[in-house]
Amino acid sequence: FHIFFLSGLFFFRSIFADELAKSKIPLYNDDIILETRLRERFFGDLNGGPDTRYRDVWNIDLKDADHTEFHVESANSVLHRTTKLVLELDEILERQQSAQSKGSAKTEDSCWKCILVAHGDVLQILQTGFLRHPDASRHRNLEHLETASIRELILHE
């Protein structure tokens, strides 16, 4: 089964829902859940301005992932809220899966798959957690996440 968790993006949600309706992805209880912890990173004074200014924030992120220069949400704050969400989802889905599969062997088809839909900046910051980086400072050093692309997140040992 698949469960989709979306940030609160109205435009993107409508496009995504349309594409999802055309797909053959089986959903658990038709679950598409809006999750505010996947919201776009707040860029403070730079919100609504040109995207080219984001690089100014990312350059400071490299030196200090806790900075709030320009009144932005810190990269580590984004990392905290998104990893907390993933840990909660893991716990909830593990309980549900265990309850449903009592006595049966766990197979690839019986495993839950969560698809997180959010802005690339948020997802790249989250990926630093899966890679076990000590903080989110290097999120822009990861491979760029193109619009509407899928990247599997695997927790590294």
- Please tell me whether the overall predicted TM-score, pTM, comes out greater than 0.85 for this model: no
pLDDT, averaged per 10 consecutive residues of the chain (157 residues), comes to 56 55 58 82 94 95 98 98 92 79 61 79 94 94 85 80
- pLDDT score of 126: 96
pLDDT of residue 11: 46
Are 110 and 70 spatial neighbours (Cβ–Cβ below 8 Å)? Answer: no
